[in-house]
Amino acid sequence: MGQARKDLLFTCISEDHRENVQDVMCHILEHLKAQSVSGNFAVNTLNNYLSSLSYIVRYWGSSNFSLLSKDKEWKKLKDNLRGHYAHSSLRQIGITLNKLSELCIIEGQYFSEIDCRALRAADKPDKQHIALPINIHAQILAQVYNTVEKYHPHRHAISEVMKAGFERLSIEKEIELAKGTYDESNPRFRKNVDGRVQTFTRQLAKVKGIPDFHYRLDGCV
C-alpha cells in the first residue's frame, strides 16, 4: 500500500474509554473495508478518525457515543468543543461524528459546516459594533420582510426539499466513497458530494415551485 504508517495507537485514549473507542474503530474499519472495491484503505484515514474520537472523549468526558443521540448530550459536546480547535480540526471531528451517524451509533444528529465556523477558536479580534443610519436600517428590515413574505407560503415545500437533500447527501457520500478516489478527510470529497446534492435540491425546488431557491448543505451562501 506504500503507507509509511500501518498501525493504530490507542495510547492517546485513557484506559477508562479505550475499550469503547476500540469498539467504534472496529465498526469504522469494517465499514471502510466493505465500501472499498479492493478491500484496501488508507491507514491515515483511520488515524484521522481515531484522533477525532480522542478529542471528542477529552472534551465531552464520555465514550458512550450512542448518548450523543440525545440533544442534551449533543449540545454539551458542542459547547465543550467551542474555542478549542481550528476550523480544519473541527471539520475532521464533524466527519467522524457524521460517520457515527451513518453507522447508526448516533441517531438524529448532523455536524455541519456551520457548526465548524461557530465553534472554531477565535483567530481575530472582537468585532466592532457599528451604528446603522436609519435609512439603511429600514432597507434591511424591508428586505427581511420581503423575504419572509416570499417564502412563507412555501415553508412546507422547503422543509420537504431539505429533508430530501439530507437523505441525498448520504447516498452521494456512498457513491463518492465507492469511487475510491478520495476519502472523507479530503476537501475534494465534500466538494464533489456537495455539488451533486446542490444540483439535486435546486431541481427538486424547481419542481415544487419554490422561487429562486438556493441552499448549500455546508451552510455557505
Last residue of a domain, one of 80, 95, 119: 119
Number of domains within the chain? 2
pLDDT of residue 132: 60
Instruction: Quote the cell numbers at residue 169.
Output: 447527501
Task: Say if residue 147 is in the same domain as residue 54.
Answer: no
Last residue of a domain, one of 90, 119, 148: 119
What DSSP string runs through 165-208? HHHHHHHHHHHHHHHTS--TTSHHHHHHHHHHHHHHHHHHHHHT
Q: What is the pTM of this model?
A: 0.54
Q: How confident is the prediction along the chain (221 residues), in pLDDT tens digits per residue? A: 444 445 567 877 888 899 999 999 988 888 887 776 665 556 778 888 999 999 999 999 999 999 999 999 999 999 999 999 888 889 999 999 999 998 999 998 889 888 888 898 875 444 555 666 666 766 777 776 677 777 788 888 887 887 787 788 888 888 888 888 887 778 888 888 888 888 888 898 889 898 887 766 554 43
Please list the alpha-helical segments (H only) found in 61-154. 71-81, 87-102, 113-119, 134-151
Distance CA 55, CA 51 (A): 6
Which domain covers residue 199, as residue numbers? 134-207
CB 35: neighbour CB atoms within 10 A?
A: 14
Instruction: Quote the cell numbers at residue 210.
Output: 419554490
Task: Say if residue 23 is in the same domain as residue 84.
Answer: yes
pLDDT of residue 63: 94
